[in-house]
Protein backbone atom coordinates (compact mmCIF):
# COMPACT_ATOMS: atom_id res chain seq x y z
CA UNK A 1 0.00 0.00 0.00
CA UNK A 2 1.38 3.39 -1.05
CA UNK A 3 0.77 6.28 1.40
CA UNK A 4 0.94 9.80 -0.02
CA UNK A 5 1.34 12.63 2.50
CA UNK A 6 -0.54 15.67 1.20
CA UNK A 7 0.16 17.79 4.28
CA UNK A 8 3.11 20.20 4.66
CA UNK A 9 4.53 18.28 7.63
CA UNK A 10 6.23 14.95 8.24
CA UNK A 11 3.74 12.40 9.57
CA UNK A 12 4.92 10.44 12.61
CA UNK A 13 2.29 7.73 12.79
CA UNK A 14 2.43 5.67 15.97
CA UNK A 15 1.29 2.05 15.79
CA UNK A 16 1.32 -0.69 18.43
CA UNK A 17 4.75 -1.81 17.22
CA UNK A 18 6.62 1.19 15.87
CA UNK A 19 6.51 4.73 14.48
CA UNK A 20 6.06 5.20 10.75
CA UNK A 21 7.57 8.41 9.40
CA UNK A 22 6.14 9.68 6.12
CA UNK A 23 7.69 12.75 4.55
CA UNK A 24 5.58 15.36 2.71
CA UNK A 25 5.04 14.50 -0.94
CA UNK A 26 5.56 18.11 -1.99
CA UNK A 27 1.91 18.51 -2.93
CA UNK A 28 -0.64 19.86 -0.44
CA UNK A 29 -4.39 19.26 -0.47
CA UNK A 30 -6.30 22.26 0.86
CA UNK A 31 -9.82 23.61 1.15
CA UNK A 32 -10.39 26.92 -0.58
CA UNK A 33 -11.76 29.60 1.72
CA UNK A 34 -13.06 33.15 1.53
CA UNK A 35 -14.26 35.69 4.07
CA UNK A 36 -17.70 37.29 3.89
CA UNK A 37 -19.02 40.27 5.81
CA UNK A 38 -22.04 39.33 7.95
CA UNK A 39 -22.97 42.61 9.58
CA UNK A 40 -22.36 44.13 12.99
CA UNK A 41 -22.90 43.20 16.63
CA UNK A 42 -22.85 46.10 19.07
CA UNK A 43 -20.99 48.18 16.48
CA UNK A 44 -18.35 45.50 15.88
CA UNK A 45 -17.97 44.13 12.33
CA UNK A 46 -18.61 40.39 12.06
CA UNK A 47 -17.23 38.13 9.34
CA UNK A 48 -17.60 34.45 8.54
CA UNK A 49 -15.39 32.04 6.67
CA UNK A 50 -16.94 30.27 3.69
CA UNK A 51 -15.24 27.03 2.63
CA UNK A 52 -15.28 25.89 -0.96
CA UNK A 53 -13.81 23.05 -2.99
CA UNK A 54 -10.90 20.79 -2.09
CA UNK A 55 -7.82 21.69 -4.11
CA UNK A 56 -4.74 19.59 -4.79
CA UNK A 57 -6.31 16.17 -4.16
CA UNK A 58 -5.40 13.71 -6.93
CA UNK A 59 -7.87 11.26 -8.42
CA UNK A 60 -8.08 7.85 -6.81
CA UNK A 61 -5.19 5.49 -7.59
CA UNK A 62 -5.44 1.76 -6.99
CA UNK A 63 -3.26 0.67 -4.07
CA UNK A 64 -2.76 4.26 -2.83
CA UNK A 65 -4.20 6.21 0.07
CA UNK A 66 -3.88 9.95 0.63
CA UNK A 67 -3.36 11.61 4.02
CA UNK A 68 -4.69 15.17 4.32
CA UNK A 69 -5.59 17.57 7.14
CA UNK A 70 -8.74 16.91 9.15
CA UNK A 71 -10.46 19.96 7.66
CA UNK A 72 -9.68 18.84 4.12
CA UNK A 73 -10.87 15.30 4.84
CA UNK A 74 -14.17 16.63 6.20
CA UNK A 75 -14.89 18.21 2.81
CA UNK A 76 -14.52 14.94 0.91
CA UNK A 77 -16.45 11.70 0.73
CA UNK A 78 -13.70 9.42 -0.57
CA UNK A 79 -12.75 6.21 1.21
CA UNK A 80 -9.11 6.54 0.08
CA UNK A 81 -8.63 9.84 1.94
CA UNK A 82 -7.39 9.69 5.54
CA UNK A 83 -6.41 12.24 8.18
CA UNK A 84 -3.89 12.01 11.03
CA UNK A 85 -5.31 10.26 14.09
CA UNK A 86 -5.39 11.47 17.67
CA UNK A 87 -2.54 13.85 18.48
CA UNK A 88 0.22 12.44 20.71
CA UNK A 89 2.29 14.73 22.95
CA UNK A 90 5.43 14.18 25.01
CA UNK A 91 5.64 14.84 28.76
CA UNK A 92 6.26 18.53 28.06
CA UNK A 93 3.15 18.89 25.93
CA UNK A 94 4.94 19.05 22.59
CA UNK A 95 3.31 17.24 19.64
CA UNK A 96 5.35 14.20 18.59
CA UNK A 97 2.99 12.40 16.23
CA UNK A 98 -0.42 10.86 15.86
CA UNK A 99 -2.11 7.64 16.88
CA UNK A 100 -2.80 5.88 13.60
CA UNK A 101 -4.96 7.38 10.89
CA UNK A 102 -8.56 8.53 10.89
CA UNK A 103 -10.87 7.05 8.27
CA UNK A 104 -13.30 9.22 6.35
CA UNK A 105 -16.77 9.02 7.87
CA UNK A 106 -18.34 10.87 4.94
CA UNK A 107 -20.42 8.85 2.50
CA UNK A 108 -21.60 9.93 -0.89
CA UNK A 109 -25.40 10.04 -0.70
CA UNK A 110 -27.46 11.72 -3.37
CA UNK A 111 -31.02 12.82 -2.62
CA UNK A 112 -33.54 15.04 -4.32
CA UNK A 113 -35.34 18.04 -2.88
CA UNK A 114 -38.55 15.99 -3.00
CA UNK A 115 -36.97 13.36 -0.75
CA UNK A 116 -36.06 16.11 1.73
CA UNK A 117 -39.68 17.34 1.65
CA UNK A 118 -41.03 13.81 2.13
CA UNK A 119 -38.90 13.24 5.23
CA UNK A 120 -39.86 16.65 6.65
CA UNK A 121 -43.55 15.85 6.12
CA UNK A 122 -43.06 12.46 7.78
CA UNK A 123 -41.58 14.25 10.79
CA UNK A 124 -44.53 16.64 10.88
CA UNK A 125 -47.05 13.77 10.87
CA UNK A 126 -45.22 11.89 13.60
CA UNK A 127 -44.30 14.64 16.04
CA UNK A 128 -46.15 17.81 15.08
CA UNK A 129 -44.78 20.88 13.36
CA UNK A 130 -43.69 22.53 16.59
CA UNK A 131 -41.60 19.58 17.82
CA UNK A 132 -37.83 19.45 17.45
CA UNK A 133 -37.12 17.57 14.23
CA UNK A 134 -33.93 15.78 15.20
CA UNK A 135 -35.39 14.66 18.53
CA UNK A 136 -37.89 12.50 16.68
CA UNK A 137 -37.67 11.06 13.17
CA UNK A 138 -33.98 11.86 12.60
CA UNK A 139 -32.75 11.63 16.19
CA UNK A 140 -31.27 8.28 15.23
CA UNK A 141 -31.15 8.23 11.41
CA UNK A 142 -32.17 4.86 10.09
CA UNK A 143 -30.13 5.03 6.90
CA UNK A 144 -27.53 7.08 5.06
CA UNK A 145 -30.14 9.07 3.18
CA UNK A 146 -31.81 10.25 6.38
CA UNK A 147 -28.41 11.18 7.81
CA UNK A 148 -27.61 13.17 4.68
CA UNK A 149 -30.92 15.03 4.92
CA UNK A 150 -30.26 15.75 8.60
CA UNK A 151 -26.84 17.18 7.74
CA UNK A 152 -28.43 19.26 5.00
CA UNK A 153 -31.06 20.72 7.32
CA UNK A 154 -28.50 21.46 10.05
CA UNK A 155 -26.62 23.67 7.60
CA UNK A 156 -29.78 25.74 7.04
CA UNK A 157 -30.03 26.70 10.72
CA UNK A 158 -27.33 29.12 11.88
CA UNK A 159 -25.30 28.17 14.95
CA UNK A 160 -25.26 31.17 17.25
CA UNK A 161 -22.18 32.02 19.36
CA UNK A 162 -24.12 31.24 22.54
CA UNK A 163 -23.55 28.73 25.33
CA UNK A 164 -25.67 28.02 28.36
CA UNK A 165 -24.12 29.73 31.36
CA UNK A 166 -22.52 32.54 29.36
CA UNK A 167 -23.76 36.12 29.30
CA UNK A 168 -25.13 38.54 26.72
CA UNK A 169 -24.25 42.13 27.61
CA UNK A 170 -25.55 45.54 26.64
CA UNK A 171 -24.15 48.74 28.18
CA UNK A 172 -22.92 46.92 31.27
CA UNK A 173 -26.19 45.01 31.86
CA UNK A 174 -25.76 41.23 31.63
CA UNK A 175 -28.31 38.48 31.12
CA UNK A 176 -27.30 34.85 31.48
CA UNK A 177 -28.15 32.28 28.80
CA UNK A 178 -30.18 29.54 30.52
CA UNK A 179 -31.32 27.71 27.38
CA UNK A 180 -30.37 27.63 23.71
CA UNK A 181 -32.17 25.27 21.36
CA UNK A 182 -32.13 25.00 17.57
CA UNK A 183 -35.17 23.63 15.77
CA UNK A 184 -34.00 22.42 12.39
CA UNK A 185 -37.53 21.70 11.19
CA UNK A 186 -38.84 25.24 11.62
CA UNK A 187 -35.36 26.84 11.44
CA UNK A 188 -36.05 28.70 14.68
CA UNK A 189 -33.78 29.28 17.64
CA UNK A 190 -35.06 29.61 21.19
CA UNK A 191 -32.90 31.46 23.67
CA UNK A 192 -33.82 31.89 27.34
CA UNK A 193 -32.13 34.73 29.22
CA UNK A 194 -32.13 35.50 32.95
CA UNK A 195 -31.15 38.89 34.29
CA UNK A 196 -31.35 40.94 37.50
CA UNK A 197 -33.89 43.66 38.15
CA UNK A 198 -34.12 46.32 40.80
CA UNK A 199 -34.83 44.95 44.27
CA UNK A 200 -32.55 41.95 43.87
CA UNK A 201 -35.02 39.76 41.96
CA UNK A 202 -34.37 38.09 38.62
CA UNK A 203 -36.46 38.05 35.48
CA UNK A 204 -36.33 35.43 32.71
CA UNK A 205 -37.45 35.76 29.13
CA UNK A 206 -37.44 33.48 26.10
CA UNK A 207 -36.67 34.83 22.65
CA UNK A 208 -37.76 32.94 19.55
CA UNK A 209 -35.80 33.97 16.48
CA UNK A 210 -36.91 33.03 12.98
CA UNK A 211 -33.62 32.29 11.26
CA UNK A 212 -34.79 32.28 7.68
CA UNK A 213 -33.11 35.02 5.62
CA UNK A 214 -31.29 36.37 8.70
CA UNK A 215 -27.54 36.30 9.17
CA UNK A 216 -25.93 35.24 12.42
CA UNK A 217 -24.94 38.85 13.04
CA UNK A 218 -28.52 40.05 12.56
CA UNK A 219 -29.83 37.43 14.99
CA UNK A 220 -27.25 38.37 17.62
CA UNK A 221 -28.11 42.05 17.14
CA UNK A 222 -31.76 41.23 17.85
CA UNK A 223 -30.81 39.35 21.04
CA UNK A 224 -28.57 42.17 22.25
CA UNK A 225 -31.43 44.59 21.53
CA UNK A 226 -33.69 42.52 23.77
CA UNK A 227 -31.13 42.69 26.57
CA UNK A 228 -30.90 46.44 26.11
CA UNK A 229 -34.66 46.81 26.41
CA UNK A 230 -34.59 44.85 29.68
CA UNK A 231 -31.75 47.04 30.93
CA UNK A 232 -33.83 50.14 30.37
CA UNK A 233 -36.93 48.60 31.98
CA UNK A 234 -35.62 46.61 34.95
CA UNK A 235 -32.05 47.64 35.75
SS3 231: helix
Identify any residues that bridge with 195 across adjacent strands, giving them in sequence order. Answer: 203
Which residues in 69-104 are b (16+ Cβ under 10 Å) and which e?
beebbbbbebebbbbbbeeeeeeeeeeebbeebeeb
- Give pLDDT, residue 38: 81
Question: In which region does residue 184 sit, left (phi positive, over 0), alpha (psi from -120 to 50) or beta (all else)?
Answer: alpha
SS3 44: strand
HSE on the CB side for 193, CA within 13 Å? 25
Comparing CA positions, the residue from 105, 71, 89, 95 lying closest to residue 10 is 95
Q: What is the pLDDT of residues 9-35, one digit of tens each?
A: 999 999 888 999 999 999 999 988 888
Q: In the chain, what are the domain boundaries?
A: 2-102, 113-156, 167-234
Q: Is the pLDDT assigned to residue 226 strictly greater than 80?
A: yes
What pLDDT band is residue 106 in, cutting at 50, 70 and 90? low
Put simply, whether the predicted model's pTM sits higher than 0.85 gets the answer no
Q: What is the pLDDT of residues 118-145, one digit of tens each?
A: 555 554 444 443 334 444 445 556 666 6
Amino acid sequence: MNIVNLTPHTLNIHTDKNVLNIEPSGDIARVSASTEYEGEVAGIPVYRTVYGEVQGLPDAIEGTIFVVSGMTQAQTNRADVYAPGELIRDNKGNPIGCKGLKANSQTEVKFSIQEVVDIEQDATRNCGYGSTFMNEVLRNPKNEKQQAVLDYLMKLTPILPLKVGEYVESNGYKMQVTKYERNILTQDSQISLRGPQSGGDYRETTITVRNTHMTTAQIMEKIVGKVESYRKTFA
